[in-house]
Structure 1
């Protein structure tokens, strides 16, 4: 077992030999005269005097426990899982007590814990094991994962007694009754809930039907789990989804039987609720990606909704994905799993094809009854004769669908892929994209009479001239949500136009005629469903240089189509795309499983995740070369690149990225090799850091 550098030990408040830490060897005072103890001297605890500490330092070469002596005055406070302060290399740093043991393997002298920050055991053995496994799979450090798993301490919330009526222990007499009606439309749905209620751990991938009240389905699965006396964790992409799940869980479980965790609660309230989960006062918790680590007692079910949303990916080291965290946790805890969504990712499809999970799907007759009618039409042909509708890029079919829905007093959803006014412009003569003369960033128009400006550096380009043909005119390459709202307002005079996007996201819209222009992910829920949906500028999503472009396009379209009324109630969807495209075909038939299977087969042929494991290594050219030179890769691993990548915002530093690919079975060995190389660079204090990311969302 390791120990801090000698400098850190020399500053300890007592100088103790390892032999002295054995309780049996703690001798009573000798009869002969000896010097009195110095004032303030500390003695080791009589029972289990050695604490193994995870120090809160992100350096890879320090990613292992360190042994410290527990002074007698902290024998009760410094329990396993508590926060402590220790002196490390001359500085006081935070840490967690991972274990208490009788002896240390360290041959040198041990320093004492400086103090215990709290007697609250915030790190449970289950979460410590989960965090260690996630760190190892991600080539990261335990300290980085614990920062995600455990919220910052708030003393007032910690010391305050639990408020009456806030949360209720879910005991045998008060367990909610599971309902199976909602799952009855899915093959094996009722059986899945019965297995949860009987204490089983079924794993399933849910292909949700259009118009499905998915928050209630999740609440029903949680209710079945609580009926068996076990806990549940639910992870959703954002705060809007969390609000919907919160309402559904309150309705199904009853008041006080669950809690939610979100950054918007504020540090004190969030920590107070987290402590209620840690103390076992509540067994069901829902939240965003960090909730995957929530310390629920006796976990019986882990749920993730819309696992393809990039909000589930942690942007900080070790860049773990909530889906992967819950998969690991389900395996370690022997808990059930539910991966749900209107679309399906290749990762979820792999779970099905390997037999690790089972599908929850509806029969085709049920799908057809629930789905709206979807009509494809090309982008640039069959534009409506109305000049205003033509300016808004509306084909005749789309214009008629919107007009009919508005006439029936129903709202119409219009999904556009870009926010802003005109987020991309080009030369009006040669169609060359307009670039900033300062930083080469793309130019945009922020209003009807605005001067072109750079989206990267903000430089105004009032005198822009095309470098290819010398023309000074500009045309819109892509129209944003605000410009689309203007054009549609002219095409449908007298109709209320509302926008939902970065500047303001609407949660719901009421009944009555209205045009709702939204960017993907910001579509509000209509109380009675939308009468029609128009999916515009679809090429902007389909033609992205991204491995997941088609998967992401289908996910965004499906989430919008799911908000539309069924075809039998007049619901129509018009998508401006060629109906022969496989992604569009999957939407027309509402068959996410077929598309996911096709996507997975294509990735297997090309050797991309999730069939293989790929590590992305990004840094300066010298740093990337140094790391790869130190890495002892598995024999079957191959290095792709390195290739140049754009510099970070506000920096002109040259960066490169290399990809390291290996079979999925060797993913653990790849992560361990990269982590070992990073540890060597960290120990040698290499000047330039390298970002290591396993199976990143963006590869191209």
Structure 2
């Protein structure tokens, strides 16, 4: 007998396999229809979709939880918005595929806010929800109970008004917070570090009244300072700080503590504007003119707009604070939406440092080179005298070493031979290189005059520190910028070279500050150039000691310019009002609403042809931007037609998406750059 078995014979002895039939799924007994926001970026699918809730997921499929559903042949993530009895869809509903987690991470308030933000910015709900709800960490969700053992006890009411007593309207603002009257204010803070304690007192007042607080600051250093001020005022356990430096797990842990009601106060950076604070009573935005408050991801929401919407929808108080005043803040005051909080002029003069412009008439009479010198005698003299009693701050608008070069003879800008990009230097001993393609240009010669030597046209912070080290050999020089940002420096004599926004704090304040290269800030091709220059100058000058303690500031800019005059007089509110009047006359934001459409030239023109613009809309452009075939068009409407414009842009984008256009355009409502 053969050891091998014939395949046909073996088949006679096989037991036939029975295929398992799936168990029939039964819908939940009550509220068997789930409305789901599916995570899809397609604008024409920006609406909830109905799914049947199976009996097996009845308990875990709660409103706000994360789910997975079958959608167009794929399994996609989504959020369960609500459960209802019946669906308006006449066909057969598919069942929920999976409940990822029963944790209700999307609260009804945040879901409604996300919808309002998406509509305002002509975006999709799924794009906003990606910004509002952080990614899940299953291990973190299981660490703590889903609900606190008891609601957090509110702290005792504050016993004093703190820094708010320095403002005529300060005590009235705190009284309105305590009475839950939802005041809204644009606050021009006095120079010095007292702004942190002022925000802490306002948060303390609202928490003592039993409501929640949300504070948004530009960067992690400001968040750390506010965190310390809140801890000193409230003690531990009443608030959490949310920043990107925490890491995904720790950030999600703290975010869950807010969602579950363990704490009722949050301080954080831009992403915290969607934090699910329960019973929100106050939103605070510090330094609302900083560009980092505008999210770089679609639909590009700005924290000022999001927090204003939250305050309006939730009947919460709103406080926009800064050492200056933005033009948007001036518009809110002018419209009556907010009230101004400013100090008396006498107190402002006592708290502010003495500010002088290097190019004023008195200095030109003493030093004729003050108009063109990068470090005129006034700046050197003030720095030398002030360095005897403390550190001196030098603010440099540009980072790096020498970021722009030119021919030393004819001043022709130095360009790369390979790509025509600008040449720069990384250090004193480095070879010139192209900032675009990285090509080393060691054998560069001027194409106009054949001269081989270069000179600097834009000097960065590192080169400035090098020059100051030679001018002040007895003083240590510290730098703070992109590579390393210092949070604080000692109060001992030293020179501190920092880029705007990276100025470290000093206990007791700087002895003096020198604001270099004012032309680099004021000469930018930007509608907000003067406003942004004043904001950066005031933020640096606010770190300097008051004039009565010897604090001085030297700004290297033309003293006749309105922004320089506003700094010298420390009157940013008047400058903002003037800017608003000029922009209204010229038809620029925020006096009007604008939207930008950017993309390939042909696509931009196709898109504009398909938009049903409001009757009051004006089309500016399109014009080329960048070096490729990219164009941008601006659409301008009256402020009362902003919703119509947003809806028209969204409808046009949805129509293109439904037709499966392979090339898209970028649409931005309220773009920061309109020039």
Which position in structure 1 is the counterpart of 2:4? none
Secondary structure in 1 matching 2:97 = strand
* TM-score normalised by L of structure 1: 0.91
Distance 1:145 1:257 in 2: 28
| Deviation at residue 485 of structure 1 after TM alignment | 0.6
2:665 corresponds, among 690, 694, 699, to 690
Which position in structure 2 is the counterpart of 1:211? 192
Contact 2:500 2:536 in 1 (8 A): yes
Corresponding position: 1:670 with 2:670: no
Corresponding position: 1:171 with 2:146: no
Corresponding position: 1:453 with 2:436: no
Corresponding position: 1:319 with 2:300: yes
| Deviation at residue 198 of structure 1 after TM alignment | 1.7
Corresponding position: 1:303 with 2:284: yes
1:142-181 alignment to 2 at 5 Å? 142-161=125-144, 169-172=151-154, 174-177=155-158, 179-181=160-162
Which position in structure 2 is the counterpart of 1:25? none
Distance 1:390 1:192 in 2: 45
Which position in structure 1 is the counterpart of 2:96? 113
Which position in structure 2 is the counterpart of 1:484? 464
Contact 2:423 2:432 in 1 (8 A): yes
Which position in structure 2 is the counterpart of 1:60? 43
1:245-284 alignment to 2 at 5 Å? 245-284=226-265
| Deviation at residue 170 of structure 1 after TM alignment | 3.3
Which position in structure 2 is the counterpart of 1:40? 23
Corresponding position: 1:679 with 2:654: yes
C-alpha RMSD of matched pairs (Å): 2.1
Contact 1:167 1:258 in 2 (8 A): no
Distance 2:407 2:534 in 1: 31
Which position in structure 2 is the counterpart of 1:33? none
Distance 2:442 2:199 in 1: 53
Q: How many residue pairs end up in the alignment? A: 654
Contact 1:417 1:520 in 2 (8 A): yes
| Deviation at residue 526 of structure 1 after TM alignment | 0.8
Deviation string, structure 1 residues 463-509 (Cα, Å, up to 9, x no partner): 22333333332111121111111111111111010000001000001
| Deviation at residue 307 of structure 1 after TM alignment | 0.6
Contact 1:639 1:661 in 2 (8 A): yes
Contact 2:163 2:195 in 1 (8 A): no
| Deviation at residue 436 of structure 1 after TM alignment | 2.0
| Deviation at residue 621 of structure 1 after TM alignment | 1.1
Which position in structure 2 is the counterpart of 1:103? 86
Which position in structure 2 is the counterpart of 1:16? none
Corresponding position: 1:200 with 2:181: yes
Secondary structure in 2 matching 1:525 = coil
Between 1:419-428 and 1:530-539, the stretch displaced more is 419-428
Deviation string, structure 1 residues 211-254 (Cα, Å, up to 9, x no partner): 14211111111111111100010000011111101101101111
Distance 1:383 1:486 in 2: 30
Distance 1:255 1:231 in 2: 16
Distance 1:373 1:689 in 2: 52
Corresponding position: 1:141 with 2:124: yes
Distance 2:157 2:240 in 1: 15
Distance 1:610 1:597 in 2: 12
Which position in structure 1 is the counterpart of 2:12? none
Secondary structure in 2 matching 1:84 = strand
Which position in structure 2 is the counterpart of 1:5? none
Contact 2:604 2:665 in 1 (8 A): yes
Which position in structure 1 is the counterpart of 2:62? 79
Q: Structure 1 residues 441 and 175 mapped into 2: Cα distance closer, same or farther (>3 Å)?
A: farther
Deviation string, structure 1 residues 94-151 (Cα, Å, up to 9, x no partner): 0001110100000111100001001100011100110000000000000000000000
Which position in structure 1 is the counterpart of 2:112? 129
* TM-score normalised by L of structure 2: 0.94
Which position in structure 2 is the counterpart of 1:357? 338
Distance 2:150 2:447 in 1: 68
Secondary structure in 1 matching 2:203 = helix
Distance 1:119 1:384 in 2: 74
Distance 1:642 1:200 in 2: 47
Secondary structure in 2 matching 1:297 = coil
| Deviation at residue 175 of structure 1 after TM alignment | 4.1
Which position in structure 1 is the counterpart of 2:599? 619
1:622-637 alignment to 2 at 5 Å? 622-637=602-617
Q: Structure 1 residues 598 and 213 mapped into 2: Cα distance closer, same or farther (>3 Å)?
A: same
Distance 1:473 1:639 in 2: 47
| Deviation at residue 393 of structure 1 after TM alignment | 3.0
Contact 1:379 1:576 in 2 (8 A): no
Deviation string, structure 1 residues 590-621 (Cα, Å, up to 9, x no partner): 00100100111111111111111111100111
Secondary structure in 2 matching 1:374 = strand
Structure 2 residues without counterparts, runs of 5 or longer: 1-19
Contact 2:158 2:201 in 1 (8 A): no
Distance 1:72 1:274 in 2: 31
Deviation string, structure 1 residues 39-78 (Cα, Å, up to 9, x no partner): 3221111110000000011110110000000001111111
| Deviation at residue 439 of structure 1 after TM alignment | 2.4
Q: Structure 1 residues 433 and 383 mapped into 2: Cα distance closer, same or farther (>3 Å)?
A: farther
Contact 1:178 1:224 in 2 (8 A): no
Structure 1 residues without counterparts, runs of 5 or longer: 1-36, 648-652
Corresponding position: 1:592 with 2:563: no
Secondary structure in 1 matching 2:641 = helix
| Deviation at residue 638 of structure 1 after TM alignment | 1.1
Deviation string, structure 1 residues 389-426 (Cα, Å, up to 9, x no partner): 99993211111111111122x00000011011111111
Q: Structure 1 residues 487 and 293 mapped into 2: Cα distance closer, same or farther (>3 Å)?
A: same
| Deviation at residue 308 of structure 1 after TM alignment | 0.6
Distance 1:437 1:551 in 2: 37
Secondary structure in 2 matching 1:407 = coil
Corresponding position: 1:578 with 2:553: no
Secondary structure in 2 matching 1:193 = helix
Between 1:686-695 and 1:465-474, the stretch displaced more is 465-474
Which position in structure 2 is the counterpart of 1:395? 376
